[in-house]
């Protein structure tokens, strides 16, 4: 079987949903499961709705819900006819009425817990997949619409739930039974706890849903369909001249995703690795383009792509007690672990340790705890530039070129990923775009 995942821009309106159904139609002989995001920017609108409702601004929330209603019903009218149209409108209306009630409740009590926020956000995918499945049926494709909450099982970390793989794999195998010539449609992004409460996998999480389902079913391939021609040498929104990378290893794609290449969610690669399932990233607007193939092929070494991550904080702990002392690093990491904050990069010297973390309101308490171990310095608004490719350090000429082009950019920290697939630099947040531009021009632009 094959999993086809479509992002929000790929299902933005009736015309694009039709395009998506056409693409899925060409894969019917490979028993496809289609996983979709919410239409266009619906999830962003749902986030605004929760924020407005929480402030008690029910009028603003209601107005946003009305826009969502109009867009989904207009899409139904443009793509469906007869009983199919009537049934779909009834289903969409039921969802939208439930959403309105829920949001009204939030406005009244002016409180939106992470659990309620997940319930609200889940409607984006529930609505989009209703339309996609209906359009596929309209075009004569035998179609089953699934509810991903029945088989993506998670813990209770609302807004960013952790997938429970043993339960999920069993549940997916029971609920999703792909067949040749038929289409199965499932929501990305959403799941549920053991007791059936709706959760989400974090923003951008539909890519992850796709590989979770693909791995559970032993897919021959997972395709991530988006709005660019694959994974590119860097974000084409920063560098319009960025070009598609034909192939990447799982490690390379994982590092890129983790360090800011939004094109795939950071967790997407993990479920595919164990079974060696290829993940192919393709453009819904340009299906003929080959896209990027991510697999375990060990191809060329050298630089493949550059990513950046903003909103990074560097925390440095200075202490002379580190000299010849064991257990010091573990005490530092225990503090981050206690607050469930993950450390991205680490650099140590004899008397200090610097780590990078994502900016979080918990920094104040973390700093207070770390101060028991030494003097603490916190630098906010930093960015990470991550150069991805195998064995970059082995090429000293390459490393020299990196530093030569960045002479004007102050580099605060340097690390080499232990997987030997990245060279990461911490620079001031305001300099990440300049750094990417200089590096891209040096390594990828034709002379």
> In which residue are the tokens 């164990």 written?
274
Part in contact with ligand ADP (CB under 6 A); list of ranges 159-167, 256-264, 332-340, 432-440: 256-264
Q: Per CB under 6 A, does 227 bind ligand ADP?
A: yes
Angle separating helix axes 42-54 and 114-138, nearest 10 degrees: 150
CB of 208 to ligand ASP, least distance (A): 8
Q: What 8-state DSSP symbol labels residue 383?
A: E
Which sign, positive or negative, has the C-alpha torsion 175, 164, 128, 281? negative
The residue among 235 and 431 lying less far from ligand ADP, judged by its C-beta, is: 235
CA distance 11 to 205: 16
Q: Are 304 and 440 in contact (CB under 8 A)?
A: no
| Partner from Mg ion, ligand ADP, ligand ASP, none binding residue 236, C-beta < 5-8 Å depending on class | ligand ADP
> In which residue are the tokens 């989904």 written?
72
The residue among 219 and 242 lying less far from ligand ADP, judged by its C-beta, is: 242
CA distance 447 to 331: 50
Q: Are 357 and 315 in contact (CB under 8 A)?
A: yes
**How many CB atoms within 10 Å of residue 325?**
11
CB of 244 to ligand ADP, least distance (A): 8
The residue among 272 and 345 lying less far from ligand ASP, judged by its C-beta, is: 272
CA distance 38 to 128: 5
Q: Per CB under 6 A, does 8 bind ligand ASP?
A: yes
Part in contact with ligand ASP (CB under 6 A); list of ranges 35-43, 146-154, 298-306, 334-342: 35-43
CB of 270 to ligand ASP, least distance (A): 16
In sequence order, what are the beta bridge partners of 318?
A: 352, 375
**How many CB atoms within 10 Å of residue 51?**
16
404 CB contacts (<8 Å, ≥6 apart)? none
Contacts to ligand ASP from residues 38-97, by CB under 6 A: 38, 43
Residues that bind Mg ion (CB under 5 A): 7, 204
Contacts to ligand ADP from residues 19-48, by CB under 6 A: 37
CB of 236 to ligand ADP, least distance (A): 6
The arrangement of strands across the sheet holding 302-318 comes to 343-348, 352-358, 302-318, 375-390, 422-428, 413-416
The residue among 215 and 263 lying less far from ligand ADP, judged by its C-beta, is: 263
Q: What 8-state DSSP symbol labels residue 142?
A: -
**How many CB atoms within 10 Å of residue 354?**
20
CA distance 46 to 436: 33
Contacts to ligand ASP from residues 202-231, by CB under 6 A: 203-206
DSSP H/E element including 437: helix 432-443
Q: Per CB under 6 A, does 429 bind ligand ASP?
A: no
CB of 266 to Mg ion, least distance (A): 11
The residue among 33 and 232 lying less far from ligand ADP, judged by its C-beta, is: 232
| Partner from Mg ion, ligand ASP, ligand ADP, none binding residue 417, C-beta < 5-8 Å depending on class | none
Q: Which of 204, 254, 278, 429 binds ligand ADP (CB under 6 A)?
A: 204
Q: Per CB under 6 A, does 254 bind ligand ASP?
A: no
| Partner from ligand ASP, Mg ion, ligand ADP, none binding residue 305, C-beta < 5-8 Å depending on class | ligand ADP
How many residues line the site for ligand ASP (CB under 6 A)? 12
- Residues forming contacts to ligand ADP in the complex (CB under 6 A) are 7-10, 37, 204, 226-228, 231-232, 234-237, 261-263, 305
- Residues forming contacts to ligand ASP in the complex (CB under 6 A) are 7-8, 37-38, 43, 124, 188-189, 203-206
């Amino acid at each position: 079987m094959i999993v086809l995942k479509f992002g929000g821009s790929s299902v933005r309106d009736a015309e694009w949903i039709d395009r998506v159904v056409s693409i899925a139609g060409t894969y019917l002989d490979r028993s496809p499961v289609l996983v979709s995001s919410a239409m266009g920017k619906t999830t962003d609108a749902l986030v605004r709705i929760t924020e407005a409702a929480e402030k008690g601004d029910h009028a603003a929330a209601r107005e946003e819900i009305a826009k969502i209603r109009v867009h989904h019903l207009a899409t139904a009218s443009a793509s469906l006819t007869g009983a199919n149209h009537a049934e779909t409108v009834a289903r969409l209306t039921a969802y939208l009425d439930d959403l309105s009630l829920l949001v009204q409740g939030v406005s009244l009590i002016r409180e939106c817990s992470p659990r309620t926020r997940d319930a609200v956000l889940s409607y984006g995918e529930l609505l989009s997949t209703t339309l996609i499945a209906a359009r596929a049926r309209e075009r004569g494709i035998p179609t089953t619409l699934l509810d991903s909450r029945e088989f993506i099982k998670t813990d209770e970390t609302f807004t960013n739930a952790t997938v429970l793989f043993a339960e999920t794999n069993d549940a997916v195998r029971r609920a999703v039974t792909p067949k040749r010539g038929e289409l199965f449609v499932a929501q990305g992004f959403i799941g549920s706890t053991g007791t059936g409460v709706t959760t989400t996998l974090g923003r951008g999480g539909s890519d992850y849903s796709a590989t979770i389902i693909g791995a559970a079913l032993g897919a021959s391939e997972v395709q991530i369909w988006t709005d660019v021609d694959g994974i590119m040498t860097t974000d084409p929104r920063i560098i319009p001249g960025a070009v598609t990378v034909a192939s990447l290893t799982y490690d390379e794609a994982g590092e890129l995703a983790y360090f800011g290449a939004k094109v795939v969610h950071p967790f997407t690669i993990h479920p595919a690795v164990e079974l060696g399932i290829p993940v192919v990233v393709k453009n819904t607007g340009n299906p003929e383009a080959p896209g990027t193939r991510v697999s375990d092929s060990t191809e060329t070494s050298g630089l493949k792509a550059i990513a950046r991550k903003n909103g990074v904080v560097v925390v440095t702990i200075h202490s002379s007690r580190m000299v010849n002392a064991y257990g010091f690093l573990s005490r530092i990491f225990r503090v981050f672990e206690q607050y469930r904050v993950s450390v991205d990069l680490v650099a140590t010297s004899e008397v200090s340790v610097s780590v990078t973390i994502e900016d979080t309101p918990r920094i104040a308490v973390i700093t207070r705890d770390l101060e028991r171990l030494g003097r603490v310095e916190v630098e906010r608004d930093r960015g990470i530039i991550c150069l991805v490719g195998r064995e970059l350090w082995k090429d000293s000429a390459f490393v020299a070129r990196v530093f030569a082009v960045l002479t004007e950019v102050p580099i605060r920290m340097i690390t080499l990923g232990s997987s030997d697939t990245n060279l990461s630099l911490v620079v001031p947040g305001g300099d990440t775009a300049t750094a990417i531009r200089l590096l891209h021009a040096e390594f990828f632009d034709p002379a």
